[in-house]
Amino acid sequence: MAEQRAQHEQGSRDVAAVVFDLGGVLIDWDPRHLYRKIFSEEAEMEHFLTEVFSSDWNEQADGGRPTAEITAELCALHPEKRPLIEAYYDRFPEMMKGAIDGTVSVVERLHEKGLPLFVLSNFSAETFPHARRRFAFFERFSGMVISGEVGMKKPESRIYDLLTERYGLTRAETLFIDDRRDNAAAARQAGWQALHFTSPDLLTDDLTRLGLLD
Chain segment 49-67, per-residue pLDDT in tens: 999 999 999 999 999 999 9
- Whether the per-residue pLDDT at 156 is higher than 70: the answer is yes
Angle at Cα 25 formed by Cα 74 and Cα 88, nearest 5°? Answer: 20
Last residue of a domain, one of 95, 121, 140: 95
Share of the chain above pLDDT 70, in %: 94
Residue 2's pLDDT is 37
CATH number of the domain to which 119 belongs: 3.40.50.1000
Q: Do 90 and 109 lie in a common domain?
A: no
Q: Tell me how far apart the alpha carbons of residues 173 and 175 are, in angstroms, rounded to a whole number.
A: 7
- Whether the per-residue pLDDT at 150 is higher than 70: the answer is yes
Last residue of a domain, one of 79, 95, 111: 95
Last residue of a domain, one of 95, 112, 144: 95
Does residue 134 lie in a domain region?
Answer: yes
Residue 109's pLDDT is 98
Does residue 199 lie in a domain region?
Answer: yes
- 3-state SS of the chain is CHHHHHHCHHHHCCCCEEEECCECCCEEECHHHHHCCCCCCHHHHHHHHHHHCCHHHHHHHHCCCCHHHHHHHHHHHCHHHHHHHHHHHHCHHHHEEEECHHHHHHHHHHHHCCCCEEEEECCCCCCHHHHHHHCHHHHHCCEEEEHHHHCCCCCCHHHHHHHHHHCCCCHHHEEEEECCHHHHHHHHHCCCEEEECCCHHHHHHHHHHCCCCC
- The 10 Å Cβ neighbour count of residue 107 is 21
Does residue 214 lie in a domain region?
Answer: no
Chain segment 101-148, per-residue pLDDT in tens: 999 999 999 999 999 999 999 999 999 999 999 999 999 999 999 999
Residue 7's pLDDT is 42
Q: Tell me how far apart the alpha carbons of residues 30 and 117 are, in angstroms, rounded to a whole number.
A: 24
Domains in the chain, number = 2
Q: What is the mean pLDDT of residues 92-109?
A: 98
Angle at Cα 148 formed by Cα 177 and Cα 100, nearest 5°? Answer: 40
Q: Do 143 and 203 lie in a common domain?
A: yes
Q: Do 76 and 114 lie in a common domain?
A: no
Q: What is the mean pLDDT of residues 76-90?
A: 98
Q: Tell me how far apart the alpha carbons of residues 10 and 78 are, in angstroms, rounded to a whole number.
A: 48
- Whether the per-residue pLDDT at 180 is higher than 60: the answer is yes
Q: Tell me how far apart the alpha carbons of residues 11 and 172 are, in angstroms, rounded to a whole number.
A: 10
- Whether the per-residue pLDDT at 10 is higher than 60: the answer is no
Residue 11 pLDDT level (bands cut at 50, 70, 90): very low
Residue 1's pLDDT is 38
Q: Tell me how far apart the alpha carbons of residues 156 and 166 are, in angstroms, rounded to a whole number.
A: 16
- What pTM value is reported for the model? 0.92
Residue 4's pLDDT is 41
Q: What is the mean pLDDT of residues 183-206?
A: 98
Does residue 56 lie in a domain region?
Answer: yes
Residue 5's pLDDT is 41
Angle between helices 157-166 and 181-189 (to 10 degrees): 60
- Whether the per-residue pLDDT at 3 is higher than 70: the answer is no
Residue 81's pLDDT is 98
Q: What is the mean pLDDT of residues 151-155?
A: 97
